[in-house]
Chains A and B, each alone.
Chain A
């Protein structure tokens, strides 16, 4: 730090150049007019070029980007909505198809069971008919057999009576005796 300080003293001690006769060179007022006029001129041109030409292009690019991003987001949102709608439609279709399939299956099942029931009823009817026919046959056979039994009993009784009494009993007598 000491050396630096020494340097400062040395600097300030150095005599100034010829052109700056003491004081700030900025305060040489003979140079002010030209600088002011030129600065105003340059500033006016620069302002015109920037404000009318270049800055609108910069802001245009920024706005375009903003619009593009907003547009892309809107597009993406729209596509997403569309996809969601399609997904919903597909889900509805699947549900409908499933309901249809279930209905078809139920219908087929009902039809099949109805047919089966019908067939069964028919079979049962046939069987019942056969049964009644057979029962009628059996009844007839039994009646006939019972008839035969009476005849046999009558014959047997006639034979017994004849054997025991030696004379044949009349049919009327046998019938009354057997009744």
Chain B
């Protein structure tokens, strides 16, 4: 049976030179992971180019889907961040749509970029560094009030501040691991059950019922994975909004 982890193996497609930054070698070759990201970004750009080309009052199918996703993120940013959400909506939308396209691409093609820990961690840190940058630019030193919520007796700060700092620092990791874990788990399970179909089907009549059962599981899991692909992108966007809201509305924290 095929190794279910083989699908996550990075393979080089186009060899490019390795550069060394601060003593760390960075291989800039276009791998299957990079290609998947490039394809997702290209598809997203092409999709929105067509979806926003006509600007029809009565939208066609493409435009309707494009506007549906836009309104989804717009409503999300607005409901969580209020009026300030408008400014961050493009950032949240780019994250949401990019993650969604990478997730969905994994359902159709062989490689899922969001099942790479390097990718999800980078996105997680991108979010949290944006949050820190926005917080510091908007609030200056008051940004650190984020770790000391008002309205508690001062002795509690000895306990509360470390907890708050820890919960903040752990955010990019949880963001990254949630997406990574869901994508990894889903694709591994799909691969294993698909492997059963072949393995049991090859055993003749004895294995046949099991193969049918496994096949049914694969169909059901595929449907589930489509939902997870959307849901995880949505969760990523929601949490980005929530984290941004913390620093945008620091006074009410």
Cβ of B61 within 8 Å of any chain A Cβ, yes or no, is no
Given A49-B45, A50-B48 in contact, is the A33-B24 Cβ separation under 8 Å? yes
The residue in chain B whose Cβ has the minimal distance to the Cβ of A28 is B10
Q: Tell me how far the C-beta of B71 lies from the nearest C-beta in chain A, rounded to whole angstroms.
A: 7
Q: CB-defined interface of A4-20 with B at 8 Å, one 1/0 digit per residue?
A: 10011011001011011
Asked whether, in the complex, the Cβ of A47 is within 8 Å of the Cβ of B90, the reply is: yes
Contact between A61 and B94, CB atoms less than 8 A apart: no
Count of B interface residues, CB-CB < 8 Å: 64
In whole angstroms, how far apart are the Cα atoms of A42 and B38 in the complex? Answer: 7
Indicate if the CB atoms of B55 and A20 lie closer than 8 Å.
no
Tell me the minimal C-beta distance from B151 to chain A in angstroms: 37
Contact of A65 with B by CB under 8 A: yes
CA distance A112 to B221 in the complex (A): 101
Q: Is the CB of B10 within 8 A of A25?
A: yes
The verdict on A170 contacting chain B, using a C-beta distance below 8 Å, is no
Contact status A57-B91, CB under 8 Å: no
Contacts of A26 in B (CB 8 A): 8, 115-118, 180, 184
Asked whether A36 and B122 contact (CB < 8 A) given A19-B9, A42-B38, A58-B67, the answer is yes
Scan residues 74-133 of chain A and give those whose CB is less than 8 A from a CB of chain B: none
Residues in A neighbouring B31, C-beta threshold 8 A: 31, 34-35
Whether A51 contacts B94 by the Cβ 8 Å rule is: yes
* Main SS at interface, chain A: helix
CA of A61 to CA of B26, assembled, Å: 43
Encoded as 1 (CB less than 8 Å from any A CB) or 0, chain B from 158 to 192 comes to 00000000000000000000001000100000001
From B48, B71, B126, B196, give the contact of A54 (CB < 8 A): B48
CA distance A4 to B115 in the complex (A): 25
Please name all residues of chain A whose beta carbon is closer than 8 Å to the beta carbon of B28 when the two chains form the complex: 34, 37-38
Is B110 interfacial (CB-CB < 8 Å)? no
Bound-complex Cα distance A32 to B99 (A): 18
Query: CB within 8 A of A3: which of B6, B25, B97, B209?
Result: B209
Those of B38-52 within 8 Å (CB) of chain A: 38, 41, 44-45, 48-49, 51-52
Which A residue's beta carbon lies closest to that of B24? Answer: A33
Q: Which of B190-206 contact A (CB under 8 A)?
A: 192, 195-196, 199-200
Point out which of B24, B45, B89, B180 has the most chain A C-beta atoms below 10 A from its C-beta.
B45
- Say how far A93's CB is from chain B's closest CB, in angstroms: 40
Decide if A165 is an interface residue (CB 8 Å cutoff): no
A11: chain B residues at CB < 8 Å are 1, 4, 192, 195
Whether, in the assembled complex, B105 has its beta carbon less than 8 Å from a beta carbon of chain A, the answer is no
Is residue B79 contacting chain A, with contact meaning CB distance below 8 A? Answer: no
Q: Is the CB of B3 within 8 A of A20?
A: yes
Query: How far, in whole Å, are A54 and B51 apart by their CA atoms in the complex?
Result: 9
Q: How far does the alpha carbon of A51 sit from the alpha carbon of B91 in the complex, in Å? A: 8
Known contacts: A4-B196, A35-B116, A58-B70. The answer to whether A46 contacts B94 by CB under 8 A is yes
Known: A33-B26, A35-B118, A51-B94. A61 touches B52 (CB 8 A): yes
Contact partner, A50, options B63, B90, B115, B117, Cβ 8 Å: B90
10 contacts between A and B (CB under 8 A): A7-B214, A8-B192, A24-B117, A25-B9, A25-B10, A33-B27, A34-B28, A37-B28, A42-B41, A47-B91
Known: A20-B9, A28-B10, A65-B57. 20 other contacts (CB 8 A): A3-B200, A4-B213, A7-B192, A7-B199, A11-B195, A24-B117, A34-B27, A34-B31, A35-B33, A38-B30, A42-B38, A50-B94, A51-B91, A54-B45, A55-B89, A57-B55, A58-B48, A62-B67, A62-B70, A64-B57
